[in-house]
Amino acid sequence: MINDLPSQAMLADNIASVQARIAQAAKRVGRRPEEITLVAVSKTKPVELIKMAHTLGLRNFGENRVQDALPKIAEFRHESIEPVTWHMIGHLQRNKVNKVVGSFNYIQSVDDLQLAQAINRHAAELELRIAVLLQVNISGEASKEGVAPEETLALAQQVVTLPQLDVQGLMTVAPQVTDAEEVRPVFRGLRLLRDRLRVEVPQSAWQHLSMGMTDDYGIAIEEGATIVRVGRAIFGERIQRIP
Ligand SMILES: *Cc1c(COP(=O)(O)O)cnc(C)c1O
């Protein structure tokens, strides 16, 4: 099967319509579009396409597999393509932390203390601070990664004490549903949890809510998303991997 890649014109069209929909969603709830960062999820896509998206003005890219992402990040670095911000959005195993710290700028998928401590240790070795979000499993689906909502406060209190971590907020992955409206309570739940952390863990500003993907980023923005992670609406459908 051929993985059809969009042409530059098609990619430009896709980006423009995603940005227009972000602006419309923001406007519906009296927010400014500039408050929302578009992370283009480039997982499974070749680096040539990511470079094209960068040429067209995108600056934030999300990847979910360390092994796939590292060569892409290395190529941007090698060619001095800047500015660019890389977001780790997939489940991260502790034994891969050494590869992620120093390559990615954001780790959005921190969901337990030992992982956070490992990131802190490696960041200290490299003398850098790394931006992190705590991934929360709001919907409680067994298949989803993330800390349980009721355990988030305890995790937050510990993670903010790690000096190399710049804790910036929360991330969630909503369940797949047929009607995107069904996920609104999940996004609202993440925002309410964030509001509580602002009061109870004031060491962080908790400024970011990373929520919303191709099928539901409009609703996520209405519910307060500051980061949306959009793959298919920008780069086209992904070919399913055979596990
Ligand atoms: C793949 C992925 C996305 C993007 O999903 P699309 O439906 O392609 O927009 C966002 N977040 C995470 C964590 C992902 O794994």
Question: How far is Cα 193 from Cα 146, in angstroms, rounded to an integer?
Answer: 14
Q: Give the position, in ligand 1's atom list, of the atom nearest the Cα of 90.
A: 13
Task: Specify the DSSP element, H or E, that contains 219.
Answer: helix 217-222
Question: How far is Cα 141 from Cα 135, in angstroms, rounded to an integer?
Answer: 13
Ligand 1 midpoint to CA 159 (Å): 25
Q: Determine the pLDDT at residue 5.
A: 82
Residue with the smallest CA separation from ligand 1 atom 13 is 89
Q: Give the position, in ligand 1's atom list, of the atom nearest the Cα of 215.
A: 7
Residue with the smallest CA separation from ligand 1 atom 12 is 89
Task: Specify the DSSP element, H or E, that contains 87.
Answer: strand 85-88
Ligand 1 midpoint to CA 90 (Å): 9
47-55 vs 66-78: helix crossing angle, rounded to 10: 50
Partner residues linked to 131 by β-bridges: 106, 166
Question: Within 6 Å (CB) of ligand 1, which residues are found?
Answer: 41, 43, 64, 89-90, 173, 213-214, 229-232
Q: Are 132 and 165 in contact (CB under 8 A)?
A: yes
Q: Determine the pLDDT at residue 238.
A: 85
Q: Give the position, in ligand 1's atom list, of the atom nearest the Cα of 238.
A: 8
Question: How far is Cα 59 from Cα 75, in angstroms, rounded to an integer?
Answer: 15
Per-residue pLDDT of the chain (243 residues; tens, 9 = 90+): 455 788 999 999 999 999 999 999 999 999 999 999 999 999 999 999 999 999 999 999 999 999 999 999 999 999 999 999 999 999 999 999 999 999 999 999 999 999 999 999 999 999 999 999 999 999 998 888 999 999 999 999 999 999 999 999 999 999 999 998 999 999 999 999 999 999 999 999 999 999 999 999 999 999 999 999 999 999 998 876 655
- List the one residue out of 204, 235, 234, 218 whose CA is nearest residue 174: 218
Q: Give the position, in ligand 1's atom list, of the atom nearest the Cα of 229.
A: 10
Among 89, 144, 209, residue to substitute to test ligand 1 (most atoms within 8 Å of Cβ): 89
Q: Where are the alpha helices (DSSP H) in 4-162?
A: 8-28, 47-55, 66-78, 97-100, 113-125, 149-159
Q: Give the position, in ligand 1's atom list, of the atom nearest the Cα of 173.
A: 13
